[in-house]
Structure 1
Amino acid sequence: MTTTPLEAKRVVDLSARSTLGSYDDIAAAIGLRKISTFSEEIPHTDGRSILRATSTAVIANPWKGTSTDFELAPEAERIAPLLSKLLTDRLLEVLGGAEKVEAFGKAALVGAGGEIEHAGALIHTPYYGNLMREALEGTSILCFADGFGQPGEMLRIPMWHKTAPATRSHYQTIEIFLSDAPNATEIAVVAAASTGPRPHARIGDRNTDIPVTSEILKEITL
């Protein structure tokens, strides 16, 4: 007896399932080679420590060998939610839960055998961003970095406040070293988050700045 495409696929509910344990089915579905999670602790002036973390998934490029007019949406809709779930589960574990997260960001690097739009297709859609925002209890759009990469890359991921992007104290970056990714036919996708602002933030806030225009150039003291 033959099976239809719908019968051949197994429907699973990931909404309440942790991916910190077994996730072989997800890994197989997206061509996952590895996940790496990095965290750092920074002393803060108010006596607490700020935790910052990234989680990175390296997957096979699902659009390898396709032309620049190939439709990206079907694979993006299939893969991006799984990436968001895998990566945010790990950020929440490291940082202590969504209530601890104050800032977030995202990134993607595509190997030389792909195109820049392949990186964007996985992180610049609601199938990734909306799920990441919901998991981390944010409302802001996610700031980002994307581009081409190769093994040995140093990647800097920007972050800002998850509910108040005008809060300048939370403008920050975190750096990670990708020692073996992405290969030419891979894409590395990153989720990043922080439990606080920069450790010594003191340059004001966009909501309280005085009005500044090019008029100030008329009375510059040198």
Structure 2
Amino acid sequence: MAVRKLVTVVEEIHQEGGRAVEPAARIAVVAAVIDNPWAGQGFVEDLAPGIEATASDVGALLAPRVLEALGAPAEAYGKAAIVGLDGEVEHGSALIHTLKFGDHFRRAASATTLLPAVEKRAAAGTVFDIPLKHITDATIRSHHQSVEVRLADAPHPGEIVVALAAAAQGRPQQRLAPLSSEQ
């Protein structure tokens, strides 16, 4: 796995709706800009060798970094793969929609739910939103949120941006009734 760069973003929200958020709401994102393991090969029927060579390594790289950047236990999490224009959306999906990738984050965050994801093919500088859900119960509405990310110079055409996001809490000032109240 060839990593061109790592980007870490930490957002702290101190005020929402005109009211203080105590403690500040924290969301962290760590993104790796890596070479697309299938770039320049034309259509690749069997993606398994590239998955085997890359998915676990990128998951192991990102999971501890995003939790360290968050600086608190994660309550919500998500993932992203943004494929450069010379690749296919399937290339990003192949890396992040495997237990070889996701289980690193699940174990590190003591999580049990599936990681919500976004994947797309795009030019460098595209904006993408990483969806977040609660780490153990995806029906907890307060933790349904997203974080916007943009890397000015990535992905290059033969690269993939792979990112993990974690939040230390649900949305600031959330006040929706639990899903169970509607059943």
Same fold (TM over 0.5): yes
Worse-matched range after superposition: 165-174 or 87-96: 87-96
3-state SS in 2 of match to 1:208: helix
Confirm or deny that 1:47 pairs with 2:18: no
Give the alignment partner of residue 142 of structure 1, picking from 115, 129, 133.
Answer: 115
Confirm or deny that 1:180 pairs with 2:153: yes
In structure 1, the residue matched to 2:32 is 57
Confirm or deny that 1:96 pairs with 2:63: no
Q: Is the 8 A contact 1:155 1:178 kept in 2?
A: no
**Whose RCO is larger (CA < 8 A, sep 6+)?**
2
Q: Write the letter of the residue equivalent to 2:48.
A: A
Quote how far apart the aligned CAs of 1:96 are.
2.3
Q: Is the 8 A contact 1:107 1:123 kept in 2?
A: yes
Equivalent residues in 2 for 1:119-134, closer than 5 Å: 119-134=92-107
Percent identical among aligned pairs is 39
- 1:23-75 per-residue CA deviation (whole Å, 9 max, x = no partner) reads xxxxxxx0110000000111376621121010000011110123434211122
TM-score (norm 1): 0.77
| 2: CA distance, partners of 1:207 / 1:165 | 13
| 1: CA distance, partners of 2:100 / 2:115 | 13
| 2: CA distance, partners of 1:159 / 1:183 | 26
CA-atom RMSD in angstroms: 1.4
- 1:103-136 per-residue CA deviation (whole Å, 9 max, x = no partner) reads 0000001011011110101100111112211111
Q: Is the 8 A contact 1:92 1:136 kept in 2?
A: yes
Unpaired segments ≥5 residues, structure 1 = 1-29, 211-222
In structure 1, the residue matched to 2:3 is 32
In structure 2, the residue matched to 1:72 is 47
TM-score (norm 2): 0.92
Q: Write the letter of the residue equivalent to 2:141.
A: R
Flag the structure with higher strand content: 2
Unpaired segments ≥5 residues, structure 2 = none
In structure 2, the residue matched to 1:13 is none
Q: Is the 8 A contact 1:167 1:207 kept in 2?
A: no
Give the alignment partner of residue 82 of structure 1, picking from 31, 47, 57.
Answer: 57
Which protein has the larger Cα radius of gyration, Structure 1 or Structure 2? Answer: 1
